[in-house]
Amino acid sequence: MLKAIHSNYLNPTKQSRRLSVLMSIRNEPSASQHKIAKFSNLSSSMVNNYIKCLKEEGVITVSGETNRTLSYHLTKHGQNELRESLLAYSCEIVQLYSAVKCEITQILNGFYREGIRTLVLFGVAETAEVVFAAIKNSPLVVIGVVDSDPTKQGNSFNGLIVQEPQKMEEINPDAVVITSFGKQDEIHECIRQLVGDKIMVKKLSEV
């Protein structure tokens, strides 16, 4: 189920809040306003105000006599608005993704200028996907992927099998890149305990 992203850096706008409410109604028409508020990361009073406006504008209809039986449904106008808003929202996300990928490519090109040619990626979370995509725009080559989570080991990641961190020395890259933006110091220490100073360890935040 698609859910609008709530960010520490991107302030929610009236349009994004409205989109969240519409998505919640589309996904579960019988959801209570409290549940819509939880999905949308809004207060119940704000959701109530949005629903009143949406009803007045002919975007939704409301049926039911009591709070327990109330349900909300998108009108044809509402369905069109949701579709157009989702497309606009998706375009902005793609633009942000492209900008982040460009920034990471610049960091990776800096690694190349340092003499690094082959990499092992540590971590296969969402950020690793962006890093891997950025590497395609650089002269660097990923020769291995590792993750400390046993449930991820053995799975395929962009054509490479995710291995346990103990395999890093055997793979023997020029550098290990920590793809996660969280717990970087902890991960760095873990890598150092496994490979010592034999392999360079790089953080994407080291710029």
Mind listing the pLDDT tens digit for each residue in 79-96?
999 999 999 999 999 999
Which phi and psi (to 5°) does residue 58 adopt?
75, 20
pLDDT at 185 over 90: no
User: Helix count (H) and strand count (E) of the chain?
Assistant: 7, 8
Q: What is the pLDDT of residue 75?
A: 98
Mind listing the pLDDT tens digit for each residue in 112-149?
999 999 999 999 988 899 999 999 999 999 999 999 99
Per-domain residue ranges of the chain: 14-74, 98-203
Helices (H), 28-114: 33-40, 44-56, 76-113
Confidence of residue 1 (pLDDT cuts 50, 70, 90): very low
Q: What is the pLDDT of residue 125?
A: 83
Q: What is the pLDDT of residue 4?
A: 56
Confidence of residue 5 (pLDDT cuts 50, 70, 90): low
Mind listing the pLDDT tens digit for each residue in 15-69?
999 999 999 999 999 999 999 999 998 999 999 999 999 999 999 999 998 888 9
Class of domain 98-203: alpha beta
8-state DSSP, 43: -
Fold of 14-74: Arc Repressor Mutant, subunit A (1.10.10)
Residue with tokens 């950020």: 127
In whole angstroms, how far apart are CA 176 and each of 84, 100, 139? 42, 20, 16
Spatial strand order in the sheet of 200-203: 156-157, 160-163, 141-146, 118-122, 175-178, 200-203
Strand 200-203 with 175-178, pairing: parallel
Comparing C-alpha atoms, which of 119, 169, 128, 186 is closest to residue 152? 128
Residue type, 173: P
Q: What is the pLDDT of residue 182?
A: 76
pLDDT mean over 200-204: 91
